[in-house]
Amino acid sequence: MVPKVGQTAQLAFIAAASVAVFSFVRAAKNDAVLASCNAICLFRPTYAALDRTVPDFELPDMQGKIVRFSSLRAGKPVILNFWTKSCKPCLEEMPSLAQLAQIVGKDGVKVVTISTDDGPDDVRDHLQVVLGGAQVPFEILFDPDAKVVGGMFGTTLFPETWLIDAAGVIRARVDGARDWTSPLALDVISAVGRRGACPVEFALGVPGGRMKALCDAEL
């Protein structure tokens, strides 16, 4: 049966509308990816990719309670920091980590740190000094044998910070101390919490992979 003129026009309209919606969704997705890349390209993490999931583990906290990392994540982004009291840069960046925990905590983002020191008594005085006596606003776990820090994450130098998205995918690793309250750092962390992950890979702070060109305009 040959469709009537009105039916043909209606079908053409529906087809055009479908194409427009598809184009809009694709453009919005591309915009989200570009927005995610803008900050991370400038931030230049040591490592970034989209193919590694954070391992799960159990460690004691400041009260000696055994805590499973997945229970802390609970479907939210996590900033995971490795440190030790003998690492001066670790202690220098800790106030900014404390401020970061307060800033992003209201959005459900967790700041979790792992110390390779012996336990709470070993670090309590250092925390009092570097945080000015203020209460510690982030979770501290202890890994004195470095079975998690070294065995699972391969970390040997401190500080080191891993940015993990809500799905448990490691979005970036940062070696060395940073000011975690800087606008750029906050933009990167905000991008970790959004859909549209940046597909650019980083190795030793240098962008690479087939989507490297997304960073060319920012560097």
- Phi, psi values for residue 138, rounded to 5°: -130, 165
Count CB atoms within 10 A of the CB of residue 139.
18
Cβ neighbors of 60 (< 8 A, separation 6 or more) are 66, 67, 119, 141, 142
* CA nearest neighbour of 109 among 129, 69, 67, 138: 138
How many angstroms separate the CA atoms of 35 and 198, rounded?
A: 8
How many angstroms separate the CA atoms of 193 and 167, rounded?
A: 10
For the chain, which residues score pLDDT lower than 70?
Answer: 1-35, 195-196, 217-219
The pLDDT value given to residue 216? 79
15-51, pLDDT tens digit by residue? 443 333 333 223 334 555 666 788 899 999 999 987 8
Structural domains in the chain, sorted by start: 9-216 (3.40.30.10)
* CA nearest neighbour of 214 among 202, 199, 192: 199
The pLDDT value given to residue 54? 96
